[in-house]
Structure 1
Amino acid sequence: MPNENAPGSPGIDPTWCSSAKDLVTTALGASRVWVTLGYGILNEVFWPSTGQPQIRDLGFIVAGGGRWTELKRLGNYTVATPEPYVPLPTIVHRGEGFTVTLEIAPDDRRDVVLVRYRLEQETSSDADRLRLYPLLAPRLGSRGRDNTAWVEHGALMASQGDCALCLQDTAGFARGSAGYVGRSDGWQDFRKNGRMDWTYPRAEQGNVALMGELDAQEGVLAIGFSGTVVGAHTLVGSSLAEGFGAIRDRALESWTEWGESLRCPGDAASPYRSLTLRSATVLKVCEDRHFPGAVVASLSIPWGNSHDDLGGYHLVWARDSVEAGFGMIAAQHYDEARSMASYLIATQQEDGHWSQNFYPDGTPYWKGVQLDEAAFPILLVAKLYELGQGDGLTGAEAMVRRAAGFLIRSGPISPQDRWEENAGISPFTLAVTIAALVAAAELLSDSAERDECLAYADFLNRRVEDWLYVRDTELCKKYGVDGYYLRMAVRDIFAGRHGPLPIANRGGLTLPAEEVVSLDYLYLARLGLRPADDPRMRATLKVIEGELAVDTPNGVSYHRYNEDGYGEHADGAPFDGQGIGRLWPLLTGERGHLAVQQGEDAAPYLRAMAAMTGPGGMLPEQVWDAPAIPARRLTPGAPTGSAMPLLWAHAEFMKLVAAQHDGKPIELLDAVAKRWGAKRPEPAVWRWRPDAPFEALPPGVGLRVEDGKPFRLHYAMVAGGGDLDGDWPDVQEARSQPAPFGMYAVGFAAKQLKGLAGCKLTLFYEEANQWEGVDHTIALGG
């Protein structure tokens, strides 16, 4: 073949690889490389941070004697590690007449990953001798359309901008080839020719791939990353010179030292020990090196092998970070939890909230706002202080003040729920908000701010059932219950429980809010707002078990909500903006927490979660809930193509193990438990807002009209027996006064309202010289 550049530029449209990871690993040291494994090979490798995948995969073809096999398609392999907390995998592939063993060791001193390989075959005939052919798909700069790849001095190289990689073997490659994916890459070479026929020296500016031929049946490969080609080559050469054994020994020592101090509730023979320790390791692996405390939701891209969207889960969510922080607290690794809290203090927005998600350096990605993400960091900091682990968190009170202020100014309606799909009031978000306000009061030094947090928390807690509990519905009749908690009330407060709720990813489907349920209500008990055995909790559980629970061969799990659309299609095709929601193991964990609080055994839920892991013990975002589809590797109760491992799911498992042992959720704060004793409070003052109004005030309760902007209250009191729908009698005005956290308010004591039928009101905003434009009425209880 002529010594010419590869044909087929620029290659087919690039994708990422499957999110079904066997394992994730990194080194505890200066190295800035994170490795994911899937189908027994290296998948995305991240560098120089957890937010930047740089290759699609690094796999192998085994060929010789007129036949060839690609390891990742073989599907017959095992993954083992020295200990659950030592993520140094040994992968053994078994094919027809051969075995390939791969050992992975990230270098703790360099941005390099080493792969020791050994190919064993049953026959030693020269004619049938097998060789290994590494296949590498660079995606440098986290892009796939403008990489350049080439073969140089026995090494495989690639670059894009200020990103470069080098793949080299201890003995060098016998031959190499650079091509365009789907056109002239190594896999196409074998598919068309049955052997390595092509040796193209270069493929420029496209979706490229590299392949090399190894003469030896055992040796060491190294893949390294740098800002320059020369730098990548130097790092790889240095690691290979130091040797696999020395580098793996260092990694083994550092991970062992870290893991031996993990707390695993129960005895050493606990059936949950392995997954508990592995889960803690996943949380640690997902932490960025340059930005300590930045833990990404997953080192994966859901359904990544079907699209090129970089918006995977290798981003930081404040909610997932706090879930991980509580997981580390469960493992009694307080330093990691403090590091996560410190990172959240640094990434808080000026107004008190956190971006929906962001890269490890703090750069926002999606721009949505979720109230639970503003509340959760308060809970983490409060828990650390409750355990005597908060010392040294400089800026914690300022962070709490900003976050509490945001919650007070913005609540109770959240622009997004925890599933990032709907605006309104959800029991999960509301519970986290209320608990966070009580926690904030414990951490603030200003008495007026403390009082404001507690008063608003009391009011929100009093209104939970008004907003979220429904009766006399079709589901009540179906399950023979008095009522149940909703998934969420829509933005329109007055229509909230019965108004139209859009269902995401279902082609415009809208359902009445009263018909949609979820496990979100469980946090009312988990955070200490309602007793776990409250009749309303039990009634809702009956509906949940009937509507959302599915028994799989691996145990029970739950849908997020009825008619969910986030998951594979009915035929198993990847989610593409439309689909059918599948089962979430983390919800099995949430159900298990309720079992603990109700005095039951959480073992069935722990066993189910443990059984729903992948080959390497990773917990997925979702598991399959329909008949098996072998062609798509979909099996009931087993991982789907969603994110795996999911940080949140692993943290939930760790917390459930701790809750089972301790008898209560780790997130339940003493301050919240003591304030209400899980009973609904009766606040002395109700708070009326234009975006969260109410139509009636109970007797003996004061009224506070408030807003986040200065206003003049234009109002009229209607005497007992008067007509609220009539003309405005005796119009009065009151100028709002500043209140804590940037609010403005006009208040009426309960005695001022005694004997009145109601109040008519509207607001005039002085700064904008504008009337609100809506007349409101509030019926008074006399």
Structure 2
Amino acid sequence: MVGTALGASRLWFSVAQGIVSEVYYPRLDIPQLKDLGLIVADDQGFWQELRRLPGYTLEFVAPGIPVLTIHHRHSRFNLRIRICSDPQRDVLLLDIELDGDAALRPYLLAAPRLGGDSLNNRAWADSWQGRPLLWAEQGPFGLALMCADHGGLPGFGMRSVGSVGESDLWQDFDRHRRMTWSYAETEPGEVSLAGELPRRCTVALGLGSSKEAAATLAWSALMQGFEAAWQGQCKDWADWQKNWQPPPALAALPDASQQLLQRSASILKIHQDHTYPGAAVASLSVPWGESSSSQGGYHLVWSRDLVETAGALLAMDKLDDARAILCYLIATQQSNGHWLQNQWLGGKPFWQGIQLDETAFPVLLAAALHARDALAQIPVHDTVRRALDFILREGPATGQDRWEEDAGINPFTLAVAIAALVEGAALLQGRERDCALMLADYWNARLEDWTWVEDTALARSLDVPGYYLRSTPTDELIHDGAKLEHLLIKNRAIDPDLPAEEQLATDFLQLVRYGLRDAHDPCIVASVTAIDKLLKTDTPNGPVWHRYNGDGYGEHADGKAFDGSGNGRGWPLLTGERGHYALMAGADVLPYIEAITAMTGAGGLIPEQVWDTDPIPARDLYPGQPSGSAMPLVWAHAEYIKLCLSHAQGYPVDRPVQTWQRYHGRRPQISFYLWRMKQRPRNLPAGKELRLLLHAPARVHWGRNGWQEIADVDTQDWGLAHIAILPTTQLKPDDTLEFTLYWPDSGQWQGEDFQIRIV
């Protein structure tokens, strides 16, 4: 489970293994607590840590309302934990009731990571205003844990603070089988807090700008009472859910799928920040968190994930949320027009790769709002123009694909970029508009030239004529060469270098979803057949697809956590994308909706990946059920919402309007070829016009068949680029075209000649 409040509170939390795991404050990207668990023990040597007690059950008030009751059952006890945020304070509340053997008591153990820093925390077992508490500080953050019995009196018994792995409560029980330590203070480091609790009590975890501020909030929340917070949370979220109801056409969905739709809407809301309206993280989780040392986890902003989320919000008619996302994206656009690979919520870079789709997606959001006449007063021309300028300069290749791996021409990235050029053109005028549409048509027309292969060893083994490549290496783009180079497969420890033509991915499905190719196009059909044979796994919960063959991002074969290498597993997100293709092909979408529903975790969250081979009970891995990857993946919940609403509507709800109207799934016919400094075709089909697309004014000095009939052509300013059109339509096969460039701004010649053969 993940949760937050809709009121003034700036606290988010997650639940895993039957206990509170991470807590974030005052923003979604600042973790303050690694976990908060419980031990049940007596004084005779019995002790049981709850996170290691299997068979707990979860009880929700209603789907999508982030308040939760966890029931832990043991032969000697039953323990109930109710968890919710205080709607008005930066406080997380746990109401605890222990029943059973009267000799048992609960003990709290918590691991602060204030400011995301695990090495410089200090902790104290102390009293404040006469009330016993545990608190910690690091930098500008303070944390306080306070306890009250159900009569409102301070409830802590013994308390202790220690260093993790040395003097924490778990070590105390492991060595002495009961709580014996009562350390009052720690040195700076990785600290732990521990305290003996009443059998019935409420614990408040407060966060603030100091430990005293945190304690003030915690005790205030305890005095307000747990029931007030619980009822307030339930009412606030129930009222929020009433603002959107699924269309009547979805009433026929199975109950579990309808509940997942409601829950998914709440997941999108929960992952929105309160300090930076419009910002949302990819997940309140750290994949393989127990073994991961990742600083960022998934609590970072990716513009791609953010716009995928916005697409679901738009489909739900939540226009204010979508506009807030667009404003945030405008604020964080880089000066050269692109968006960072990912970033902290305030705009500070984390990773800094270049992914072309992450520049294209915000243009699609602006255009989608424009298409609904919902931009209000948001000025988008400058943002769109700079984004398209970057796409024009960098494309059609991307520095990284959407999986943050290989460079090259990727069908998914190219589909999003082409759509952005078409959609963005509607927000431009004159020659700028013409330039964007010209480039979109050219890239769309040449998609198969760059990304389609036939009669490869892999194609023959799959009994298909060919397929769209996962990615064409960038070096091949310069000369439109054969697609035979190798790709380095990230996260793959063994044999990471595979031929590009033997790489198959699901990414081409976006061509159909965005209206660039028809679902029944022979190249599409062959590629769908190929991925269904090679990348699909049928699990007890339904079909799931891998990202590409040879993927190394997932658990190892023995179930050991991903550690920089592994074996990629099935992604429910891709089941959603495959379901969108099924919709466009006229097939039944319901099996894909039901499969995603069945692949959720115990709390109904959609994971990044599911286990897809034989079960490994010792590692809690079962086919068709969540692996140790991120959960929830917000993008997956957005995809599920869109799949359900697309099912109701009859076509993809996020299909770009202008792109569909321009292409209707048909490959455009073009009368020209483009030549650029970074993309230099060696051959020009007879009858085609040659257009030079340059980034500065130039004079083209050209001739034919060995520099005969020399002429000069000056470029024209098309807003996004400078274009020179050479009259080459009358050249015949085997003629040659020679040219060089003169740059008037610098008064310099290019210093090299270029040749193209007519074929």
TM-score by length of 2: 0.95
**2:76 alignment counterpart:** 97
Tell me what 1:646 maps to: 633
- The reply on whether 1:131 has 2:117 as its aligned counterpart is no
Calculate the aligned-residue CA RMSD, in Å: 1.9
Distance 1:653 1:730, change over 3 A: same
**Pairing partner for 2:31 from 34, 50, 53:** 53
Q: Determine helix, strand or coil for the equivalent of 2:366.
A: helix
1:191, distance to aligned residue in structure 2 (A): 0.7
Change beyond 3 A, Cα 1:749–1:218: farther
Corresponding position of 1:421: 405
Q: 2:218 aligns with which of 236, 256, 268?
A: 236
The answer to whether the aligner puts 1:77 opposite 2:56 as a matched pair is: yes
SS of residue in 2 equivalent to 1:168: strand
Name the structure 1 match of 2:500: 513
Q: Does the residue aligned with 1:305 lie in a helix, a strand or coil? A: coil
Whole-Å Cα distance in 1 between the matches of residues 203 and 627 of structure 2? 31
Report the residue type matching 2:27 in the other structure.
S
The letter for the 1-side match of 2:397 is: I
Residue 397 (structure 1) shift:
2.5
Residue in 2 that maps onto 1:330: 315
Contact 2:577 2:639 (C-alpha < 8 Å) held by counterparts = yes
* Deviation for aligned residue 1:293: 0.9
Quote how far apart the aligned CAs of 1:151 are. 0.4
Offset at residue 685 of structure 1 (A): 2.8
Contact 1:489 1:496 (C-alpha < 8 Å) held by counterparts: no
Letter in 2 for 1:546: K
**In the alignment, which of 100, 109, 114 is matched to residue 93 of structure 2?**
114
TM-superposed CA distance for 1:437, in Å, is 1.0
**Offset, 1:362:** 1.6
Q: Matches of 1:341 and 1:305 in 2, distance apart?
A: 35
Structure of higher RCO (CA pairs closer than 8 Å, 6+ residues apart): 1
Task: Tell me whether 1:375 sits opposite 2:349 in the alignment.
Answer: no
Which residue of structure 2 lines up, in the alignment, with residue 191 of structure 1?
A: 174
Question: Retained in 2: the 8 A contact 1:300–1:644?
Answer: yes
Of 679, 683, 693, the residue aligned with 2:666 is 679
Shift of 1:117: 1.0
* Structure 1 counterpart SS, 2:533: helix
> Match for 1:528: what amino acid?
G
Larger mean Cα displacement after TM superposition, 34-43 or 382-391: 382-391
Counterpart position of 2:385: 401
SS at match of 1:682: coil
Asked if 1 retains the 8 angstrom alpha-carbon contact of 2:408 and 2:473, the reply is: yes
Task: Find 2:155's aligned residue among 155, 169, 172.
Answer: 172
For the 8 Å contact 1:263–1:332, the answer to whether it is kept is no
SS at match of 1:202: coil
- CA–CA distance in 1 between the matches of 2:696 and 2:421? 21
Q: CA deviation at 1:456?
A: 1.0
In structure 2, relative to structure 1, the CA distance for the partners of 1:294 and 1:731 (3 Å cut) is same
Counterpart pick for 1:579 among 556, 561, 566: 566
In structure 2, the residue matched to 1:24 is 2
Question: What is the identity, as a one-letter code, of the residue corresponding to 1:288?
Answer: D
Out of 204, 210, 213, the position equivalent to 2:196 is 213
Residue 280 (structure 2) pairs with residue 295 (structure 1): yes
Task: State the 1:328 CA deviation.
Answer: 1.3
The one of 331, 337, 341 aligned to 1:346: 331
- Give the match for residue 260 of structure 1: 242
Task: Please list, as runs of the form range in 1=range in 2, the aligned pairs for 1:529-540 lying within 5 A after superposition.
Answer: 529-540=516-527
Question: Which structure 2 residues correspond to residues 330-729 of structure 1 after superposition, within 5 A?
Answer: 330-392=315-377, 394-444=378-428, 446-492=429-475, 493=477, 494-495=480-481, 497-507=483-493, 509-718=496-705, 728-729=707-708
Deviates more, 1:410-419 or 1:245-254: 245-254
1:152 pairs with 2:96: no
Deviations 1:214-268 (A, max 9, x none): 1x21111000111111111111111111111112222211111111222324344
Cα 1:212–1:772 shift into 2, 3 Å: farther
- Give 1:15's aligned residue: none
Q: Give the Cα–Cα distance (whole angstroms) in 2 for the partners of residues 147 and 431 of structure 1.
A: 47
CA 114–491 in structure 1, closer or farther in 2 if over 3 Å, else same: same
What amino acid sits opposite 1:293 in the alignment?
G
The CA deviation at 1:728 is 4.7
Give the distance between the partners of 1:767 and 1:151, measured in 2 at CA. 71
Cα deviations by residue, 1:508-561 (Å, 9 ceiling, x for unpaired)? 611111100111000100000010111111111111111100111111111110
The alignment partner of 1:306 has SS state of coil
Contact 2:83 2:93 in 1 (8 A): yes
The residue type paired with residue 560 of structure 1 is: R
2:151 alignment counterpart: none
Q: Which has the larger displacement, 195-204 or 383-392?
A: 383-392
Partner letter of residue 353 of structure 1? H
Instruction: State the 1:306 CA deviation.
Output: 1.1
1:702-728 alpha-carbon deviations (Å, 9 max, x no partner): 21112324555453322xxxxxxxx55
2:606 counterpart SS class: coil
C-alpha deviations, 1:721-772, integer Å up to 9, x for none? xxxxxx555665555443312x233221455657881312344666678776
**1:454 partner amino acid:** L
Rate the CA distance shift 1:496–1:298 in 2: closer, same or farther, 3 A.
Answer: farther
Matched residues in 1 for 2:136 and 2:737: separation?
72
Instruction: Report SS of the residue matched to 2:341.
Output: coil
TM-score normalised by length of structure 1: 0.92
Q: Secondary structure at the match of 1:382?
A: helix
Say if 2:713 and 2:725, in contact at 8 Å, map to a contact too: no
Rounded to whole Å, the distance in 2 between the matches of 1:209 and 1:474 is: 57
User: Is the 8 Å Cα contact of residues 455 and 683 (structure 1) preserved in structure 2?
Assistant: no
Count of paired positions: 742
Question: CA 1:537/1:267 → structure 2, altered by over 3 Å: closer, same or farther?
Answer: closer
Task: Give deviations 1:561-597, integer Å, cap 9, x for gaps.
Answer: 0001111111111111111111111001100000001
Residue of structure 2 equivalent to 1:285? 270
Following superposition, the deviation at residue 497 of structure 1 comes to 2.1
Query: Could you tell me which amino acid in structure 2 is paired with residue 659 of structure 1?
Result: S
How far apart are the structure 2 equivalents of 1:500 and 1:635?
Answer: 34
